[in-house]
């Protein structure tokens, strides 16, 4: 009878565990899948993120609930059962922390994609670390471990950690400063004081990556970028006015030169992508050089990289039009023999 009674004592907890596993499988395969399809149809923002974070978790939670309920029917020592319940509670809280960390990081990534120029990489990692840290402290508290001495120890050891990871923390806070200040955003075209230039690809916890037009990556530590002198061609506005220098001879009719140049600039603005056609191009004469009159042509383009194609097409069309109209662009060889029959004269225009 004793053996039979002992066997019966184990049947109930095993049955509870099996029921928990079975119900978890049903929830995962039936109810959870139907709920997923329903929310997907509603186009709820972040629905895909939430369901990816919850993947396999509901069935695991129900199974853990079955194990926890079974501990109240197991014929074991109460102290052993108490330890088992704490372990199950810790596992449950850990899985919940993982889900919350995934959701927090994913939401920051979505926010970064929807916010123009915001780097989501650093913010996503920071959100994940904060949630995981709070989750670990909650688990320790649930297991009966006082977190007050731990927090005190962390506070005392914070100085040592800061000194040991001084460069890492400097880069981290510099990256946060760059993001919060808005001086540099992902997608901005910047030129560093050292001469490198390109589009800001990402701002991570350690460095900023800049993608050059030839498709190369420049890696700059956040502390270096935070203290460097650089030019951001997308601030305060992405549109810029490009200036193209031109020079004509003194024999030219300046009114005619201005009219023809503006006509060519307008033609380019109507035919080349990357130009703002509603902007009216204009000319401003600069100075009298020794053998030419210099001026600038102003054309507004959508962003910095559009200058290359616009300048390329403008120079071709302007050169051809000047040839048709008989407007001379002085060259170095034309400067020879103009100083009392002297030859080999070399002159740099001002």
Tens of pLDDT, residues 260-316: 999 999 999 888 887 877 888 999 999 998 888 999 999 988 888 888 889 999 999
| Higher pLDDT among residues 256 and 39, named by residue | 256
Domains 175-232 and 240-333 share a fold: no
With cut-offs at 50, 70 and 90, classify the pLDDT of residue 42: low
With cut-offs at 50, 70 and 90, classify the pLDDT of residue 163: low
- State the helix-helix crossing angle for 120-142 and 78-114, rounded to 10 degrees: 160
Beta strands in 197-349 (DSSP E): 197-203, 207-211, 217-221, 230-232, 240-248, 282-288, 293-301
- Portion of the chain with pLDDT greater than 90, in percent: 15
Residue 193 tokens, joined: 């004081």
- For the question of whether the overall pTM of this predicted structure is more than 0.95, the answer is no
Where do the domains of the chain lie? 2-164, 175-232, 240-333
3-state DSSP helix/strand/coil % of the chain, to nearest 5: 60, 15, 25
Tens of pLDDT, residues 187-241: 888 989 888 889 988 888 788 889 988 888 889 988 888 888 888 888 888 888 8
Q: Which CATH class is domain 240-333?
A: alpha beta
What are the distances in angstroms from CA 206 to CA 123, 128, 252?
Answer: 12, 16, 58
Q: How far apart are CA 112 and CA 104, in angstroms?
A: 12
User: What is residue 233's predicted lDDT score, i.e. its pLDDT?
Assistant: 86
**Topology (CATH level 3) of domain 175-232:** SH3 type barrels. (2.30.30)
Taking each continuous run of H as one helix and of E as one strand, the counts in the chain are: 11, 8
N residues, the chain: 350
Residue 16 tokens, joined: 């509870």
């Amino acid at each position: 009878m004793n053996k039979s009674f002992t066997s019966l004592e184990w049947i109930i907890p095993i049955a509870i565990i099996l029921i928990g596993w079975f119900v978890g499988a049903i929830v995962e395969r039936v109810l959870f899948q139907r709920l997923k399809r329903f929310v997907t149809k509603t186009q709820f923002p972040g629905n895909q993120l939430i369901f990816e974070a919850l993947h396999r978790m509901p069935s695991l939670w129900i199974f853990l609930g079955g194990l926890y309920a079974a501990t109240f029917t197991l014929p074991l020592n109460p102290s052993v059962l108490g330890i088992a319940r704490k372990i199950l509670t810790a596992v449950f809280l850990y899985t919940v922390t993982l889900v919350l960390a995934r959701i927090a990081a994913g939401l920051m990534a979505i926010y970064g994609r929807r916010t123009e120029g915001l780097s989501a990489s650093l913010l996503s990692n920071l959100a994940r670390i904060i949630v995981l840290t709070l989750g670990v402290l909650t688990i320790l508290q649930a297991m009966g471990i006082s977190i007050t001495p731990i927090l005190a120890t962390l506070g005392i050891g914070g100085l040592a950690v800061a000194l040991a990871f001084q460069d890492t923390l400097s880069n981290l806070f510099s990256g946060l400063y760059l993001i919060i200040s808005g001086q540099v955003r992902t997608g901005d075209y910047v030129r560093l004081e050292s001469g490198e230039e390109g589009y800001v690809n990402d701002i991570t916890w350690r460095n900023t990556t800049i993608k050059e037009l030839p498709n190369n990556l420049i890696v700059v530590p956040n502390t270096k970028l935070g203290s460097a002198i650089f030019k951001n061609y997308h601030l305060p506005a992405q549109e810029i006015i490009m200036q193209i220098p031109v020079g004509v001879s003194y024999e030219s009719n300046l009114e005619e030169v201005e009219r023809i140049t503006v006509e060519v600039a307008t033609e380019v603005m109507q035919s080349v992508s990357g130009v703002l056609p509603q902007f009216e191009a204009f000319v401003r004469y600069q100075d009298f050089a020794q053998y030419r009159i210099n001026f600038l042509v102003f054309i507004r383009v959508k962003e910095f990289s559009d200058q290359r194609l616009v300048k390329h097409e403008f120079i071709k069309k302007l050169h051809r039009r000047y040839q048709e109209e008989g407007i001379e662009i002085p060259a170095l060889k034309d400067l020879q023999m103009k100083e009392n029959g002297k030859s080999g004269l070399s002159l740099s225009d001002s």
